[in-house]
Structure 1
Amino acid sequence: MSVLKKAYATPSRVRAVYRFLLHSDKSKIKREDLEKSISPLSIQRENDKDYLDMVKETIKEMIRMKLIDEDAEGNVFLGKDLPKEIKDKNIGNENLPFYISKLFFTKENDENHDFVRLATWYLSQNFQHAPSNWEEFSKQLDEQIGSHKLECGNNTRYGQLEDWLLFCRFAIKYSVKGVGTRMVPDPTLYIQWLLPQLFHDEKTLTIVTLIDRLSNIAPIFDHGTFRKELFHKYKVGKLTENYISTVTSNALLRLHEVGLIKLERKADADTMIIYDGSSEMRYTHVSYQDGRE
């Protein structure tokens, strides 16, 4: 199964289980004890075998995605292969959404590729006209993908998708007076987290190199494997040569505006075109403004 198909496996419950294990005084805990510790007392009813279903299903999904491990004695603990920054009590919780996204991309987590494909589709939309609720999602998925809608065929599944898109920092929500809360594809925070990896060896990259690296690390972006699959199967998300998708463009411009990166145009280099919603801008290089000389 996957986090989309298991309605109980919400980001908030995944985070709750993770934080409990992260801050536990014990390196291991019996699975049954963990289930009881995480479950709200209000739903724990004597002789009711179903009262722990929400946490049980969450733990199962976390084991499948290798976020936690379980030994032969029924003890559970943070995954032995987790990087140190995810096991760090000070910064682990902050880095969790980005690491889970990384897990979702792997071949070992192919059960969660249904979420990845929907995230890919969402980031391929024009950010000015992307769907922001279930009715709009359903309509555009049906028009672009077909009646199976990439397995997002009902409001319950959409609710899971929305929660995970927001949690993984692929989208944000904002309020519109008289309309209510809406969602928009915006991976700015996700790309911001990746900046040290993208610029690991140089302060300045050609923008072509930056997009290539971004798409290799997170294949839901321009020219990544999931984006290519989306186009080959459904003719959705095609990019005109030398253009950066509107969603990625918007994220890069926001990072430029707050001073985390600097978009530049230099001679004798391939130009990429960024669209801000009203005009096209041409850039050749990107510099990471992290204080390095």
Structure 2
Amino acid sequence: MSVLKTGLAHPSRMRGIFRYLLHAKGQRENRDVLESILSPDKLVEHVPENKEKLKDKKMSHPMFNDALRESIKCKLLIEEDEEVAINPNLPQDAINPQLGDRLLPDTFTYLFFASDNEDEEDFGRVCAWYLAQDIYDAPGTGEEVENLVSEQKIGDFLKMSSSRLFVQMDDWMRYLGFAWGHTLRGKPVTVPDPTAYFKRNLKHLFNGRQEITIQDFINRLAKRCPLFETGKFREEVEAQIGSRETNFLSTSTAFALFRLQEEGDIQLERQSDSSFMILPKANNQVDNDGRISHIIWKGEKS
């Protein structure tokens, strides 16, 4: 079972366990001590299965237990004897007490989608599917997602058939930087926009270079996070809902690149005698600004 289908494995709970261990001695703690600190009995008295328990019976801590189980299953944490610890095999920056929390969304992204984690394949397909939708007309609520899944006849493929799964997808995609939300006519709406993820990973995607072709950028992006064009999960999704036009990027990827250019992080260029890719705008319209061959990184901002 993936985090998508484990409703109590919320990103904030898994992050809370990680943050505590990040600064603990040896980045480890006795499991019972960890539970008592992060999920004291007073907080779980309202849980139905705890209401009738005798005083000498151990309380149930479902939120903590589910978050811990999923953290161990995705290999963010490990369990040895009666202790829980941060996985020492993670990259050094990921477990650095000064950097680990800030890098955690990218650590999760790698562990979920780029490490051959079979448990999270359903989650990967759902995220890739949502990012493949037209950002200018994407389903923004649970009801709209259910309707589109039904319309595209991909319920069995995505294994996503309830609004509860949308809530979990929504929470995680926002935390990982693949989406954001706003309120429209009094209702919360989600937008599949990966700008935040792109911005965090520009240094890795350019890998010491200032300028690369857009094809190289997309290839590197797909390798780092296979939810995007040419990546494993996106390819599986497009096989179900139809592929993009030749050389076209999805509108969500294009939108993110245009945003990064507007914010001064990158510059999009079309250089003569170079092959280009097409970045469509609303209604799949393309103008001269959307025919791009190279991307220039402006460097890290202070």
Which of 214, 219, 230 pairs up with 1:223? 230
Deviation at 1:167, TM superposition (A): 1.1
* Structure 1 partner of 2:43: 42
CA contact (8 A) 1:70 1:77 kept: yes
Residues 93 and 107 of structure 1, relative CA distance in 2, 3 Å threshold: closer
Moved over 6 A (4+): none
Q: Which residue of 2 aligns with 1:22?
A: 22
Tell me the amino acid that sits aligned with residue 236 of structure 2.
Answer: E
Distance apart, 1:91 and its partner CA: 2.1
Give unpaired runs (5+ residues) of structure 1: none
In the TM superposition, what whole-angstrom CA distance separates every residue of 1:212-234 from its partner, at most 9, and x where no partner exists?
A: 111121111111111111122x1
Equivalent of residue 253 in structure 1, options 252, 258, 273: 258
Provide the C-alpha distance between the structure 2 equivalents of 1:128 and 1:289, rounded to a whole number of angstroms.
27
1:49-72: CA deviation from partner (whole Å, max 9, x where unpaired): 45312101111111110001111x
Any conservation in 1 of the 2:211–2:296 contact (CA below 8 Å)?
Answer: yes
Per-residue CA distance 1:194-229 (angstroms, 9 max, x = gap): 111111142101111111111121111111111111
TM-score by length of 2: 0.90
Closer, same or farther: CA 201–27 of 1 in aligned 2, 3 Å = closer
Q: 1:108 to 1:209 in 2, by over 3 A?
A: closer
Supply the AA of the counterpart residue of 1:265: R
The answer to whether residue 208 in structure 2 is matched with residue 208 in structure 1 is no
Higher helix share: 2
Note the 1:76-155 alignment, pairs <5 A.
76-148=84-156, 150-155=158-163
**What is the match of residue 32 of structure 1?**
32
Counterpart amino acid of 2:238?
F
Q: What is the CA–CA distance in structure 2 between the aligned matches of 1:24 and 1:291, rounded to whole Å? A: 31
Task: Quote the offset at 1:107 in angstroms.
Answer: 4.7
* CA distance in structure 1 between the aligned counterparts of 2:122 and 2:18, rounded to whole angstroms: 23
1:256–1:262 CA contact under 8 A, matched in 2? yes
Distance 1:27-1:214 versus aligned 2 partners, 3 A rule = closer
Query: C-alpha distance in 1, partners of 2:126/2:7?
Result: 16
Moved more, 277-286 or 123-132: 277-286
Please provide the CA RMSD for this pair: 1.8
- 2:251 partner amino acid: T
Tell me the alpha carbon deviations over residues 242-292 of structure 1, each in whole angstroms, 9 at most, x when there is no partner: 111100000000001111010011111001111222641211110010179
Letter in 2 for 1:172: W
Number of equivalences: 288
Q: Aligned AA for 1:185?
A: P
Of 190, 194, 198, 1:191 maps to: 198
User: Does residue 61 of structure 2 align to residue 52 of structure 1?
Assistant: yes
CA 165–67 in structure 1, closer or farther in 2 if over 3 Å, else same: same
CA displacement at 1:179 relative to structure 2: 3.3
Q: Which moved more, 1:50-59 or 1:129-138?
A: 50-59
Structure 2 counterpart of 1:69:
78
Partner deviation per Cα, 1:15-67 (whole Å, 9 max, x = no partner): 11011111223532111111121114322564454531210111111111000
In 1, the alpha carbon distance for the partners of 2:300 and 2:227 equals 29
DSSP-derived class of the 2:135 partner = coil
